[in-house]
Amino acid sequence: KQIFQEYIKVMKWRADGCDTIIDIGSGSGNVLMDHIYPLLPPNFKTVVSTDISARMVEFARQNYGYIKRAQFEVLDIACAELPQHLSNRFDHVTSFYCLHWVQDQKRALQNIHQLLRVSGGDCLLVFLANNPIYDVYLTLAKTQKWRDYMRDVQQFISPLHSSSDPGAEFTKLLAETGFVDYTVEIRNEIYVYDGTQNVKDNVKAICPFLERMSPAMQEDFLDDIV
């Protein structure tokens, strides 16, 4: 919400207020519907919540389907061909903490560009370039104890994590995929956790490997992370 409030002033909103918005990687839909939706122009045309997971899209639909002018769709933003009914349809594309999961970022940006109207539009893309948790994953994946559960660890590491200049690398991708008039900003954030249990709870929410383990093993894994 804070980031959207910061950038809402520079986004190109339609004079008639009938904006169309699509969000990439909405997950449960809570960020989009609880925090972004209330800030949209009163007479916006539609807001589309998308996620690669059909289960998450259905969850969002069940919890937020009552919201007027809201739609819910399964979408892999790195798909080889964007669904025709979504092509060149939107004034704005948003994505909050999703794109670091996407290994083929060039394809994702090509599709994001194609989502926007031919006449123009804008996007706000917020994601992790790097994070200490990735180094922890890579370390644990090399151990005999956890490697069988983490053989695909690279699929869950941000493509920019090992980059010496992620800002320049992403800027290059934007230029190559047709974007103009863009700003890439790298922010160094420090998160303070209230004890080890708080760290574990946060890891549980994002860790892709836990579902492969028994409950007892999950606790052991979280202990090793902490």
Query: What does pTM read for this prediction?
Result: 0.92
Tokens of 116: 């926007």
pLDDT score for 112: 99
- Please tell me the class of the 2-127+159-189 domain: alpha beta
Paired strand residues for 126: 96
pLDDT score for 194: 86
Sequential pLDDT tens for the chain (226 residues): 789 999 999 999 999 999 999 999 999 999 999 999 999 999 999 999 999 999 999 999 999 999 999 999 999 999 999 999 999 999 999 999 999 999 999 999 999 999 999 999 999 999 999 999 999 999 999 999 999 999 999 999 999 999 999 999 999 999 999 999 999 999 998 878 888 999 999 999 889 999 999 999 999 999 999 9
The ranges assigned to domains in the chain are 2-127+159-189, 130-158+190-226
Residue type, 48: V
CA 191 to each of CA 131, 135, 195, 197: distance values in angstroms, whole numbers, following the listed order: 11, 16, 12, 14
- Non-local (6+) Cβ contacts of 170 within 8 A are 105, 129, 160, 184
pLDDT score for 111: 99
Check: CB of residue 14 under 8 Å from CB of residue 31.
no
pLDDT score for 10: 92
pLDDT score for 83: 97
Residue closest to 136 by CA, chosen among 184, 213, 47, 202: 202
| H-helix segments, 116-158 | 132-141
Burial pattern 88-97, b for ≥16 Cβ within 10 A else e, equals: ebbbbbbbbe
Distance of CA 90 to the CA centre of its chain: 18
Paired strand residues for 20: 46
